């Protein structure tokens, strides 16, 4: 079955954050896309420790680079989470099939990614704060998309959830 949404990590830097996102995706039934290169050895000790046994359950696709990722999902809407956006994620109307893109922890995403997405959204924060942890942001936005789509897993009606 096609997941309601996908969560893409653009060149992640921190293995523990990536593992936390994979764990979140596994628990919420969200597919995860990792756009390489990563700033760490994928599947290394820090990542395994943070992801625990949840990493065996996640629907994961790794992409060689941005172009490989783009080619894999023609026609899908790409939604970038960024501190450089003016529209709040809670005001956005998510659709089935949306791909939520999280930028690199150290640098966000380059201009060509900003130009290629269909929407740029932000999470409102208190004055003077720079950004939330990437894994926390990913969980917040994925949960809002699932809420809007009424697509949270339901183990009582879906034995695969």
Query: Does the structure show a pLDDT above 90 at 51?
Result: no
Q: Which of 23, 149, 8, 143 is nearest to 89 (CA)?
A: 143
pLDDT reported for residue 150:
97
Domains of the chain: residue spans and CATH: 6-149 (3.40.1280.10)
Banded model confidence at residue 44, pLDDT cuts 50, 70, 90: low
Query: Does the structure show a pLDDT above 70 at 158?
Result: no
The answer to whether 78 and 115 have CB atoms below 8 angstroms apart is: no
What mean pLDDT do residues 118-132 have? 95
β-sheet with 87-88: strand ranges across: 60-63, 31-35, 6-10, 99-102, 78-81, 119-122, 87-88
């Amino acid at each position: 079955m096609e997941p309601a949404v996908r969560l893409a990590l653009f060149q992640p830097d921190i293995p523990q954050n990536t593992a936390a996102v994979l764990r979140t995706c596994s628990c919420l039934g969200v597919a995860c896309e990792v756009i390489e290169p990563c700033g760490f050895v994928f599947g290394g000790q820090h990542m395994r420790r943070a992801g625990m046994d949840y990493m065996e359950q996640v629907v994961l696709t790794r992409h060689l680079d941005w172009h490989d990722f783009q080619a894999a999902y023609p026609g899908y809407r790409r939604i970038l989470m960024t501190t450089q956006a003016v529209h709040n994620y809670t005001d956005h109307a998510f659709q089935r099939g949306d791909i939520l893109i999280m930028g690199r922890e150290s640098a966000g995403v380059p201009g060509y990614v900003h130009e290629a997405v269909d929407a740029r959204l932000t999470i409102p924060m208190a004055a003077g704060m720079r950004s939330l942890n990437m894994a926390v942001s990913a969980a917040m936005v994925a949960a809002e998309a699932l809420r809007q789509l009424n697509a949270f897993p339901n183990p009582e009606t879906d034995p695969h959830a």
